[in-house]
A and B are shown apart, each in its own frame.
Chain A
């Protein structure tokens, strides 16, 4: 047992705050395309009618806030309250400058440590300067210095994004299968834990194209498709193999279905705790199959979150669903085969 590294905790503080922005933004944008399905392929797809245009607008605004929030809360985690402004500025500059997620994460750290440095540098000032410090020095100097550092961050990170993108776009079938399978297996491995978040953030980072525009990504396609199988397969296993689960897990199964379809891997946790040796290999295999298939078919997703709500943003809805179903079935039947019949435990505690 040990404490997570401070780097990890800082990034996760940012991630935990930006997840709702992605979910809301991603879903509303998908809805906009859903309500404008008849105009698919035209230049105004997603905004042809007033209702779609409105959804696209508010969804886009929610989504547009995600990089400032990510960077802002990384900096907040490092430097406390004064870090928020400098961090959000860094995220906005990463967004406008085209360095995207990687730029926002780097910028959040830069902003946090700049403020921390300013705090140390002004420690000697008399107490009467306390107000000036928090009202003027930290915000103004913090923004200036962060702005300067972000010029460098964008300069370095934009080419990295370009390389990452061209690599992903030019993957041959074989490598795409491996990439998709690895992403799927990592997502399922700890169901929302650190390994899962590494794979997820990699896929999200691959959405940033040249000049910061969002591009379709096969890494995100594989992540979106395989991520749904994790909780969903646990639900399906409780339906197809009811004798192998306790009543408590059967109840958890219902929640797992909703979570799975909404791209939340955490629904599988109660199952993995009860039967780790059977459940974890099963969900990893199924997710790897779904991710690998999705990679093989070069399916892409343009939203930073999977689940049924972003289906309209995939390159081929039917094939994407097919990969999801196959992966889910693989996990479910592996669980069904590996698990033993559930026997009600006798309550030894109360007998004595």
Chain B
């Protein structure tokens, strides 16, 4: 199964972050992708992306309203959006990746 990785982070770190993660996972599953989302919430980072995750992934989605470390994704197609976009239009994000419309970071 092809893999997409993502990072989600919102200012309060209690709701938007996790809703965005859930929404991306669901939308990815529907299109046949395995989506792993690292959440950076108020309780710290969970489901941390490993080096293997980054190597295996076909694309990266950064759904963040705060600054998150992105240097590690250098050379990958990275889609930068807000958590709100991820919650509302996750399917569109996956579509953009499938169409190859995401720029290399």
Q: Name A residues whose Cβ lies closer than 8 Å to a Cβ of B.
A: 1-4, 6, 8-10, 12-13, 15-16, 19-20, 77, 190-194, 197, 264, 266-267, 269-270, 273
- Tell me which residues across on chain B come within 8 A of A15, comparing CB atoms: 11
Given contacts A190-B84, A192-B11, A273-B87, contact A4 B93 (CB under 8 A): no
Assembly CA distance A349 to B80 (angstroms): 31
Q: Are B64 and A192 in contact (CB under 8 A)?
A: no
Chain B 33-69 interface mask (CB, 8 Å, partner A; 1/0): 0000000001000000000000000000010111100
CB distance from A6 to the nearest CB of B (A): 8
Q: Can you list 12 pairs linking A and B with CB atoms under 8 Å apart?
A: A1-B82, A2-B80, A2-B81, A9-B64, A16-B11, A16-B13, A16-B42, A190-B84, A264-B12, A266-B15, A269-B15, A273-B87
Q: Are A1 and B11 in contact (CB under 8 A)?
A: no
- Tell me which residues across on chain A come within 8 A of B62, comparing CB atoms: 3
Given contacts A1-B89, A9-B66, A15-B11, contact A193 B80 (CB under 8 A): no
Given contacts A1-B92, A3-B81, A273-B19, contact A266 B67 (CB under 8 A): no
Query: CB-nearest residue of chain B relative to A255?
Result: B15
The count of residues in chain B whose C-beta lies closer than 8 Å to any C-beta of chain A is 25
Q: Are A12 and B42 in contact (CB under 8 A)?
A: no
Assembly CA distance A152 to B19 (angstroms): 42
| Residue from A1, A10, A15, A192 with most neighbouring chain B CB atoms (10 Å) | A1
Q: Name B residues whose Cβ lies closer than 8 Å to a Cβ of A.
A: 9-16, 19, 42, 62, 64-67, 80-82, 84-85, 87-89, 92-93
Q: Are B11 and A12 in contact (CB under 8 A)?
A: yes
Assembly CA distance A264 to B85 (angstroms): 21
CB distance from B17 to the nearest CB of A (A): 10
- Tell me which residues across on chain A come within 8 A of B80, comparing CB atoms: 2-3
- Tell me which residues across on chain B come within 8 A of A2, comparing CB atoms: 80-82, 85
CB distance from A349 to the nearest CB of B (A): 10
Assembly CA distance A267 to B87 (angstroms): 15
- Partner of B15 from the list A6, A13, A19, A192 (CB cut-off 8 Å) is A192
Interface of A is mostly: helix
- Partner of B16 from the list A1, A4, A20, A266 (CB cut-off 8 Å) is A266
- Tell me which residues across on chain B come within 8 A of A19, comparing CB atoms: 11-12, 42
- Tell me which residues across on chain B come within 8 A of A8, comparing CB atoms: 65
CB distance from A3 to the nearest CB of B (A): 4
- Tell me which residues across on chain A come within 8 A of B19, comparing CB atoms: 269-270, 273
CB distance from B47 to the nearest CB of A (A): 18
Q: Are A13 and B66 in contact (CB under 8 A)?
A: yes
Q: Are B65 and A12 in contact (CB under 8 A)?
A: yes
Q: Are A4 and B12 in contact (CB under 8 A)?
A: no
Query: CB-nearest residue of chain B relative to A269?
Result: B15
- Tell me which residues across on chain B come within 8 A of A20, comparing CB atoms: 42
CB distance from A229 to the nearest CB of B (A): 17
CB distance from A247 to the nearest CB of B (A): 18
- Tell me which residues across on chain A come within 8 A of B66, comparing CB atoms: 9, 12-13, 16, 77
CB distance from A345 to the nearest CB of B (A): 15
- Tell me which residues across on chain B come within 8 A of A4, comparing CB atoms: 64-65, 82
